[in-house]
Amino acid sequence: MLVDSVPEQRAETAPAPPTRRAIRSVGLLVSVAVLLLVAVASIAIGAKELSLAQVWHGLFEDTGTYGDVVVGERLSRTVLGLLVGAALGLSGAVLQALTRNPLADPGLLGINAGASAAVVTAITYFGVTSLSGYVWFAFFGAAAVGALVWFLGGSRGATPVRLALAGTAIAAALFGYVQAVMILDKAALAKMRFWTVGSLTSATDETIWQVLPFLVAGTLLAFVLARPLNAMAMGDDTAKALGAHLNRTRALSMLAATVLCGAATAACGPIVFVGLMVPHVVRSFTGPDLRWIMPYAAILSPVLLLGSDVIGRVVARPSEVQVGIITAIIGGPVFIFLVRRRRTAQL
């Protein structure tokens, strides 16, 4: 921080080139502006075409007309997209820092698989049919698998490799279970095939209130962890010397990632690519400092998610394509382009 702050003081006296920190702050503001634009687009654009006046009417002078109902639905969908996008981006950033692996994503630690297994169980054995009913099952599944990965990964002596291995192993076993149930039970297949691609269509105010407390708690925890995780990026010994509590930080990181990603998956199904890609992209221009990566990831992930959702509503009118599919189809090529263009930003 010393290196950064010195040129900044100089900038006040003489018109020196803007410092990195200033550029990053401006960049953050620009990102917020882009996010607002995308959010407006997400409310205004959809399978049913509405004029801006109708949108305004629906937002501020709701009288219950057809247009108002549409706007209301899009509003909750947009809010859910904002929350879930930020949660996915943050959980990806935390997991990549925790495992010191730039390829870590919620799928790696088995969290998605846990949620999927719980949902398929809910459908087949408990007869749950409503989306708001899945939420608790999915969240419970994700949390249970998160805890299991933590203990199998060695809890007190957990290392990045062990956690990743434990996550992959549990995901593999649960994936087999999900496939088996889907083959044997056609009713489960009929529902699961839509749940597993990930979509924001489930958005209701009820869903939002169900997941909101978890998302807020997880976000706060993630931001608190930025500093100790930064220290741990330098290796265990250095981190210890710098005063970081290795085990406590690891346990809390795991908790934050599980809560964030579990709640997001519970609300929308497993949306895979956002948590992997956005922190990866952000790191290429912020560098390895998590105090910058986290805010950027929290703002740019909803941009990707909501943008994809808007595109998904437009490309196949009058039906729509689920957001999880569009994020991967847009995100995949961008990701490959970035991998090709530069030496991948290491952690």
Partner 1 sequence: MKTASQTAPERTTESAPAVRRRTRVPGGPRALRTPGGLSLRLDLRALIVVVLLVVAALAASVVLIGTGDFPIPAGDVLKTLAGEGTVAQEFIVNDLRLPRVLVGLLVGAALGLGGAVFQAVSRNPLGSPDVLGLGQGATAGALVVIVLMSGSANQVAVGALVGGLVTGAAIYLLAWKRGVHGYRLVLVGIGVSAIATAVNGYLITKADLVDAARAVVWMTGSLDGRDWKQVWPLLWLCCLLVPLVLANARGLRMMEMGDDVSHALGVRVERVRLLLMVCAVLLTAAATAAAGPVAFVALTAPQLARRLTRSPGPNLVPALCMGAALLVTADWASQRLFGDGQLPVGVVTGVLGGVYLLWLLVTERRAGRI
Residues that bind partner 1 (CB under 8 A): 103, 152-154, 159, 161-162, 165-166, 168-177, 179-180, 182-184, 186, 189-190, 193-194, 196-197, 272-273, 276, 321-322, 324-329, 331-333, 335-336, 339-340, 344
Q: Is residue 142 within 8 Å of 261, Cβ to Cβ?
A: yes
Residue closer to partner 1, measured from CB, 225 or 328: 328
Residue closer to partner 1, measured from CB, 20 or 162: 162
Beta carbon of residue 203, minimum distance to partner 1 (angstroms, whole number): 18
Of residues 106, 77, 101, the one with CA closest to residue 90:
106
Beta carbon of residue 325, minimum distance to partner 1 (angstroms, whole number): 4
Residue closer to partner 1, measured from CB, 59 or 197: 197
Beta carbon of residue 165, minimum distance to partner 1 (angstroms, whole number): 5
Beta carbon of residue 270, minimum distance to partner 1 (angstroms, whole number): 10
Dmax over Cα atoms in the chain, in whole Å? 73
Residue closer to partner 1, measured from CB, 189 or 216: 189
* Both structure tokens of 7: 């040129």
Q: Is residue 219 within 8 Å of 203, Cβ to Cβ?
A: no
Q: Is residue 145 within 8 Å of 114, Cβ to Cβ?
A: yes
Beta carbon of residue 17, minimum distance to partner 1 (angstroms, whole number): 32
CA–CA distance from 97 to each of 24, 79, 241, 275, 284 (Å)? 20, 27, 18, 12, 14
CA–CA distance from 267 to each of 21, 136, 145, 277, 340 (Å)? 36, 9, 17, 20, 34
